[in-house]
Amino acid sequence: MSSPVVHLPVPRIPGRRGRLQDIPVQGKKKVLLAAPRGYCAGVDRAVIAVEKALERYGAPVYVRKQIVHNIHVVTELEKKGAIFVDEVDEVPTGAHVVFSAHGVSPAVVSAASDRGLQAIDATCPLVTKVHREAVRFARDDFEILLIGHEGHEEVEGTAGEAPEHVTVVNSPDHADTIEVRDPSKVVWLSQTTLSVDETMETVRRLRERFPQLQDPPSDDICYATQNRQVAIKKVAVGADLVIVVGSANSSNSVRLVEVALEHGAKAAYRVDYVDEVQQEWLEGVETVGVTSGASVPEVLVSEVLEELAGAGYRDVEEVRTAEEDLIFSLPKELRQDASGKRDSRALGGRGRA
């Protein structure tokens, strides 16, 4: 039995190398390569979870929504037998379904159970932490101001934990219009992949209106999002152009473009694949900054660097602002192989830059 799949844009097939010309500029050409970049621990865990499920149970394995927001990753998993669906009611009764790294609401979990689906929860543990905070504050009858983008899967999942207690705040300007029932019992939480600076501005404006606004027990914005933004800030100061590798529906990738422009880059663009880099972007450019979102495999960055090298940008300097060694255990269903032995990839850890 087949199932309707999520409608994704058709991925571009990377074009041949050597599209970009080596046109002289006034100074020396070089690349500032941001680090950390690329896969975070939550993405690594989620992608390996789908791969392991396919190995363990065979194709097809169904995935609700995109496992992570990257068209290349999704396309490669489709080739291996993953089927991406919008909702669990599109999954055949009794089949295996993986919940994406962005998390799901209790209603989705319940719907999967009602259909007899064998669910594997690949929600990033940092997102799960925010879910638990929402449940706890709702239990204590707080009104939760959830800073995030309306309609984003992570926001829908978190809000679904306590819908009668959650109000989504989309932006700093939106904070100026929010009304609450009891200003003495208000707390803020946030989507994990937002701009750190914009989130703090939203909190500042909320606190101006609600002085008793409480903070979450720990920072909700994920370590990887923060680290990639810190790195691109340092790169942007010295870059004429910044290229961010990442998909359009990846919040953290889109934020990296915005952060680069806010912190000194003269121009910044997001691309999924190397063949999207345009010759005109390089006119008069001495220094190119390069980074990638937290759901981007390093191979896509390598292809961009190779093409830039052909255009004369052969001097690559890594700008590292943090070391990342965090790894997360795979979902419990996948920690053992078919014989019951602990799987060698139980902790994930494909490696990050």
CA distance 77 to 70: 11
Q: Which of 11-20, 131-140, 325-334 is least confident?
A: 11-20
The answer to whether 207 touches 213, Cβ cutoff 8 Å, is yes
The residues pairing with 32 across neighbouring beta strands, listed in sequence order, are 289, 317
CA 88 to chain centre: 22
Question: Is the model's pLDDT at 159 over the cut of 50?
Answer: yes
Q: Would strands 96-99 and 241-245 be described as parallel, antiparallel, or unpaired?
A: unpaired
Task: Find out whether 249 is annotated in a ligand binding site.
Answer: no
- The whole-chain average pLDDT of the chain stands at 92
Tokens 């903070």 belong to 215
Q: Each residue of 228-263: pLDDT tens digit?
A: 999 999 999 999 999 999 999 999 999 999 999 999
Q: Each residue of 50-100: pLDDT tens digit?
A: 999 999 999 999 999 999 999 999 999 999 999 999 999 999 999 999 999
Better pLDDT: 148 or 352 = 148
Give the burial class of 225: count Cβ atoms within 10 A of its Cβ; 0-12 exposed, 13-18 middle, 19 or more buried: buried
From 154, 156, 161, 324, active-site residue: 154
Rounded to two decimals, the pTM is 0.91
Residues 6+ apart with CB under 8 A from 100: 46, 63, 64, 65, 66, 67, 68, 122, 123, 153
The answer to whether 127 touches 72, Cβ cutoff 8 Å, is no
- Tell me, what's the pLDDT at 13? 43
CA distance 285 to 190: 37
Per the annotation, the verdict on 154 as an active-site residue is yes
- Tell me, what's the pLDDT at 18? 76
The confidence band for 353, taking pLDDT boundaries of 50, 70 and 90, is low
Task: Find out whether 152 is annotated in a ligand binding site.
Answer: yes
Task: Find out whether 192 is annotated in a ligand binding site.
Answer: yes
Smallest CA-to-CA distance from 305 within 248, 243, 251 is with 243
